[in-house]
Amino acid sequence: MTKTFQKIIFGFLLIFPQFSFASIVFQFAFVYPGGEGTKAAAKPFLDELMNQIKKNGGPTMQAAYYPSLDEGVEAVRFKKAQVGIVSYDFYFSNKERFPMEILLSTIPVSTSKPEEQSYLMMHQSTLLPQGGSLTIFTSRNLGDDFLRTVVFRGYTSSLLKFEIDPNILVRLKSLSGTQNAVLLDSFEYKALKNLKLPWINELQTVYTSNPYPSAPVVSFVPLESELKAQLTKSLLKVAKNPQSQEILNQLRLQGFTQ
């Protein structure tokens, strides 16, 4: 789609908020800041997911993966996509900045329900600080507001310091003798528990967050009711199709729910 054509389409959108996009190709954004893999590696899986959506009665769509916060924000701000899946931390941190209407919830493979949790891991020899600070490492940038408001339920003490380390497994292995901790999401925690390595037995879970919503399927622009129904019904059908499970699992998904 050329930039000129995009301008024409979005001009129609501004004039007619419920304009139907049934005859054009939708742009679908998979926004997961700090997520694993590259755009090139994710493309065949996203392309196949779009193909499955089309086969199950959904609109024609092209998908792109946005693994950085800046790219995700730019995609939403400049309307590079009309619909997509965004990580819940991205949604929570940007819902007041950009219009994002939740259409469906995802079901992650790690929980089998539309929610996730975070787990704080420390070495068994480490004690929670009584006066000193605790440095908490995460594998990706979750945002300070999300961490303090959602994960740690309003605990705003300056004693908690957050840092990013994409090599989270190496960081976990090196916790011994430090005043550090690692925060894992549901997928990372389940993957860790499935590893059969001696040093993992030296770790302890010192805090488990309350469940919070999984990544939502959202629209970034107003969609007419018929089109919303077409998209959501097709995604729900994809989730029930055994042929789609391998593709969904590659995206860490089990399915979708309302």
Domain parsing of the chain, residue ranges? 3-112+213-257, 118-210
pLDDT in tens, the chain (258 residues): 444 444 444 454 444 444 444 567 899 999 998 888 889 999 999 999 999 999 999 999 999 999 988 898 998 888 889 999 999 999 999 999 988 999 999 999 999 999 999 999 999 988 766 666 789 999 999 988 899 899 998 676 677 889 999 999 999 999 998 889 999 999 999 999 999 899 999 999 999 999 999 999 999 999 989 999 999 999 999 999 988 999 999 999 999 999
- Indicate the pairing of strand 203-208 with strand 253-257: unpaired
Q: What is the CATH number of domain 3-112+213-257?
A: 3.40.190.10
Handedness of CA 233, 238, 242, 243 (dihedral sign): positive
CA-CA distance, 140 to 257, in Å (whole number)?
26
Which token pair is 174?
């090196």
Q: What is the CATH number of domain 118-210?
A: 3.40.190.10
- pTM for the full predicted model: 0.86
CA-based nearest residue to 256, from 66, 52, 82: 52
Asked if the domains at 3-112+213-257 and 118-210 fall in one CATH topology, the answer is yes
